[in-house]
Structure 1
């Protein structure tokens, strides 16, 4: 993980250096600030849309899985926009745009479904556990046996 973070830092510094050498230092700062303002506006707009979609779906009684993942991706995109640098801004803007966010969401859900445990119940599947109801009024009977769990 440290290597990935180091590569990210090198990519950010190289991108800022390349843009600054092409257009100058002050215009580079202007582009970074404009990206931050545009990204924060877009994150606020898309976050509001995701929240409204979640509320609508939840009120209708349907499962809001897609709306929750959209909201999470909008939040991640907004966070990436707040991090200074061109690489994080590009990835953040891609997560904030609905067409690219839909592609990322599908890939993310597919990966999660693939990594889910084998015994994990599918959505809508009911698992019935055989059980017995025991009355608390036992009178002079022996206390119920205690379950001993061996942690080995």
Structure 2
């Protein structure tokens, strides 16, 4: 006796999934329109020079931010190994390397709007304000998520399976011959806890 399953309701499409593609399309159209306006006013060669210069400037910004982040990481690791060492003033606060790298990436993208946004991210007050906003937003979301750790989430996902246990064994066919070994089939991904 079979029972008919009721169809599952289709989940409502999120606002972000609707607006992000639209925003990207509008951004691309604006970038192309602005580049053509500047090319008509100043010439195509100047636009090409602007785009090449932006790529070079963005690469320099990203490289310096990456070096600073690596230097801060090594200083932090050295301080952890030598707890008595005093922390330099520069390393105690947030340096905003992530926003510097994002600014460099935005400058490297072809287009004048992204260049302006990237240049704004190079300004320390803008980076500080965005950093504070991102920190508050992250703290608010973490509090809303409730107690627990990432490991707890994996444990809960595993407990929802029928048994959650792994039993090691060997498959033997009905005629008594062993099944092909997994080693014969090639490499397999490692088991996770």
Shorter-chain TM-score above 0.5: yes
The answer on whether the counterparts of 2:57 and 2:104 sit within 8 Å (CA) in structure 1 is: no
1:20 paired residue number: 39
TM-score (ref. length: structure 1): 0.64
The answer on whether the counterparts of 2:54 and 2:115 sit within 8 Å (CA) in structure 1 is: yes
Higher Rg of the two aligned structures = 2
1:82 paired residue number: 108
Query: Which residue of 10, 28, 37 corresponds with 1:9?
Result: 28
The answer on whether the counterparts of 1:43 and 1:96 sit within 8 Å (CA) in structure 2 is: no
TM-score (ref. length: structure 2): 0.53
Which 10-residue stretch deviates more, 88-97 or 26-35? 88-97
Query: Which residue of 84, 97, 100 corresponds with 2:126?
Result: 100
Query: What runs of 5+ residues in structure 2 fail to find an aligned partner?
Result: 1-19, 81-86, 149-158, 162-193
Task: Flag the structure with more relative contact order, 1 or 2, with Cα contacts below 8 A and sequence separation at least 6.
Answer: 1
Shift in CA distance, 115/64, structure 1 to aligned 2, threshold 3 Å: farther
Write out the 4+ residue segments of structure 1 that deviate beyond 6 Å after TM superposition.
62-65
Shift in CA distance, 31/150, structure 1 to aligned 2, threshold 3 Å: closer
Shift in CA distance, 106/114, structure 1 to aligned 2, threshold 3 Å: same
- Root-mean-square deviation (Å): 2.9
Shift of residue 10, structure 1, vs aligned partner:
1.7
1:111 and 2:137 aligned:
yes
